[in-house]
Amino acid sequence: MAEQQEERKVVMVRYGELFLKSDPVKYHFIGILLRNIRWALETAGHSSSIRSPRGRIFVSGEKPEEIAAIIARVFGVVDVSICTLVEASPDALRDAAVALARSHLHPPCRFAVRAKRQTKTGMNSQQLGEHIGSAVYDAIPGLSVDLTHPEYELFAEVRDCGGLVYDKRIPAPGGLPWGSQGKVLSLLSSGIDSPVASWLAMKRGCEVAHLHMDGGRWAGADVRETAIENHRRLSLWCPGADLKMIVADAEPFYDRMQELRVPARLRCVLCKRFMLRVAGTLAGPEGAQAVLTGENLGQVASQTLANLAVIADATTVPVLRPLITYDKGETVTLARKIGTFMEKQGDLACRAVPRMPATAATREAVAESEAELGIDELLGTVLSRVTYITARNGKIL
Ligand code: ATP
Ligand code: MG
């Protein structure tokens, strides 16, 4: 009888791509994923118990809705379900399914039961689905069964750990566990693109450190604070871990470009090359194996294919550009979803941008200007003027 059964809720966590790995790699990655889930829950003040039997992770604790919402932001997780955990018998599953349907399924409604068994004894999956489906149908008048286009789905699973019943799969970001793919140094600006690029690298398992080039009087009044705000918001995606930001005072670089009157049209390419030079130099000491930018093909004059090729030459460290093929609209949609989009944009203008930036700077012209600027000396100057900002769990420390 349903009333006599002790009903327990458990959060079931599915991870996707890790299944493709060999066993030792898979267990290594699952270990990192479990650590990240634990950190995320601890950060939010939840004490919970976590188990990882074959192919799934189960988390139990108080407030399963909150636990599920927290885990639905952990990279490497594909989706999350809040399940009723019962004894693995057809009748216990049936009673739990009827109870869940009574509270969530409102007639008239087309519904389906999807049953699955990890343990292949007793009823087969189809029989189990029918057993549960007919009980739900009888218990709630006004329903119809539709296995192809249901409006409501009930899932029942027989697993080693017991019987599970649920009716929602809360989508999570997917990707790979944060910290499983090494580290990148990400050039973070006050814009929309670079925070999304950082997030995509985190989603793909990379630990990230940020580098912001502070243009001083050459940057709009709100650039620095907005970049720091981007950094703060991104720290919400690696709960329990410190997110480091290096702020390099790059004002001398822009001063020198003006002082020496290098061709104005080259400024954007020179600027981006200088950023990569600084990032490429700092990457090693930061333990980063690549530099990351929010650059995108054709978005602005400095991002033509010809210019991107000349820009990439500035460092021997690999440069990753996760947004290279994105349309602006796609990036904005993602920025809103991950919480880095800011409705109110302050003064983010760059005062060094020329009226007519070169769309195809040549290596020769760039080399000439850099020799004139004394680029190595400038690099030394800027590297000696860095400060550090750490963010953790959405707070600047
Ligand atoms: P975004 O492209 O992030 O929206 P943006 O439009 O200000 O910012 P772009 O001129 O498009 O910047 O620069 C391309 C990339 O160069 C950025 O995505 C970012 O990775 C990097 N970048 C630009 N400005 C800075 C800066 N001040 N500090 C660090 N990186 C920067
Ligand atoms: Mg941009």
- Convert the pLDDT of each residue in 145-182 to its tens digit: 999 999 999 999 999 889 999 999 999 999 999 999 99
Give the ligand with the smallest distance to the CA of 231.
1
Cross-strand pairs, 295: none
Q: What is the pLDDT along the chain (397 residues), one digit of tens a residue?
A: 444 444 699 999 999 877 777 888 889 999 999 999 999 999 999 999 999 988 899 999 999 999 999 999 999 999 999 999 999 999 999 999 999 999 999 999 999 999 999 877 788 999 999 999 999 999 999 999 999 999 999 999 999 889 999 999 999 999 999 999 999 999 999 999 999 999 999 999 999 999 999 999 999 999 999 999 999 999 999 999 999 999 999 999 999 999 999 999 999 999 999 999 999 999 999 999 999 999 999 888 879 999 999 999 999 999 999 999 999 999 999 999 999 999 998 999 999 999 999 999 999 999 999 999 999 999 999 999 999 999 999 999 9
> Is the C-beta atom of 370 inside 6 A of ligand 1?
no
Q: What are phi and psi of 243, to 5 degrees?
A: -110, 120
Q: Whose CA is closest to 79, among 181, 155, 162?
A: 155
Q: What is the dihedral of CA 350, 391, 341, 355, to 10 degrees?
A: 10
> Which residue has the CA at smallest separation from atom 11 of ligand 1?
295
Q: Could you say which DSSP state residue 168 is in?
A: -
In angstroms, what CA-CA distances link 346 with 107, 145, 230, 331, 389?
50, 54, 13, 20, 21
**Mutation test residue for ligand 1: of 184, 185, 188, 189, the one with most atoms within 8 Å of CB:** 189
Q: What is the pLDDT of residue 3?
A: 43
- Ligand 2 centroid to 190 CA: how many Å? 9
Ligand 1 proximity of 186 Cβ (cutoff 6 Å): no
335 lines ligand 1 (CB under 6 A): no
Residues 267-295 have pLDDT tens digits of 999 999 999 999 999 999 999 999 999 99
Q: Which domains does the chain have, with CATH numbers?
A: 8-171 (3.30.2130.30), 183-396 (3.40.50.620)
Q: Which ligand is nearest to the CA of 214?
A: 1
CA of 40 to the centre of ligand 1 (A): 29
Cα–Cα dist 221/65, whole Å: 42
- Whole-angstrom Cα distance, residue 361 to residue 359? 6
